[in-house]
Amino acid sequence: MADTYVLVHGAWHTGDTLQATAEHLRARGHTVHCPTLPGNRAGDGTAPLGLQDAIDGLVQFLASNDLREVRLVGHSYGGMLLSGAADRVPERIRRLVYVNAFVPLPGEALCDMAPPHYRAMFEGLAAAGGGGVQLPFEVWRECFINDADADLARSTYALLHPQPLRCLTDPIALSQPTAALALGKSYLNCREDTALPHSLPWHPRLSERLGLFRYVEAGGSHEALFTDPEGFARGIERAGRD
């Protein structure tokens, strides 16, 4: 059955970084959109943009394209945007799919769910970068794309954009926990993901915040969208179907 997917990128990424994954889903008959949201467009890194701007951008994308019955897929930071959009326009969404993604409670920021040293690192990088946070290559190589060879790690790092600090530190405004929404929910967990340390895992620590949800596993690191886009797409499809 053909479904409509909207793939929501993570921090430092753009919609273009998900195009390889999207092509595998399209080859399987699905309609796929990959928007680049406020905070992740060229030049946004030092702009006075925050989490709410990005959520507003996603809500506006769904409305302006009159998208309904959507399988809304969020990778990493994209989980913040999923929860924010689902709180406002649940009528447009068929299922939420969190892919190694943050699942915030009302009033919580992404940094509240990350290791404490991440906040200190982000704030220091933003102070040195005019308000934008560029992920250090060493963190990218060892923690985010640990299943890649050195050449792929370098070439993909060159695609990343600085992220406005407030996207990572602003608390989210939700009317209720995402678990309370009467929507289908799934969590896709890539088994080699070490972007968060395994002492503070994506699953079950964050996934269980969805309440009733479907759990799906895939291979690869946090950046399986680069290292295995076909397998990443298969995992998304398994998580997204009814």
Active site residues: 76
Q: What are phi and psi of 160, to 5 degrees?
A: -80, 150
Structural tokens at position 177: 């926990």
β-strands 214-218, 184-190 pairing: parallel
Q: Give the DSSP letter string of 26-92.
A: HHTT-EEE-PPPTTSSTTGGGSS--HHHHHHHHHHHHHHTT--SEEEEEETTHHHHHHHHHHH-GGG
Whose CA is closest to 120, among 108, 136, 104, 141?
Answer: 136
Question: What would the two tokens of residue 76 be?
Answer: 């990493």
Q: How far lies 140's CA from each of 68, 91, 152, 158, 178, in Å?
A: 35, 37, 11, 11, 29
CA atoms of 27 and 29, how far apart (whole Å): 5
Whole-angstrom distance, CA of residue 95 vs CA of residue 238: 12
What is the rounded CA–CA span in Å between residue 217 and residue 99? 10
What is the Cα–Cα distance from 129 to 242, expressed in whole angstroms? 44
Amino acid found at 214: R
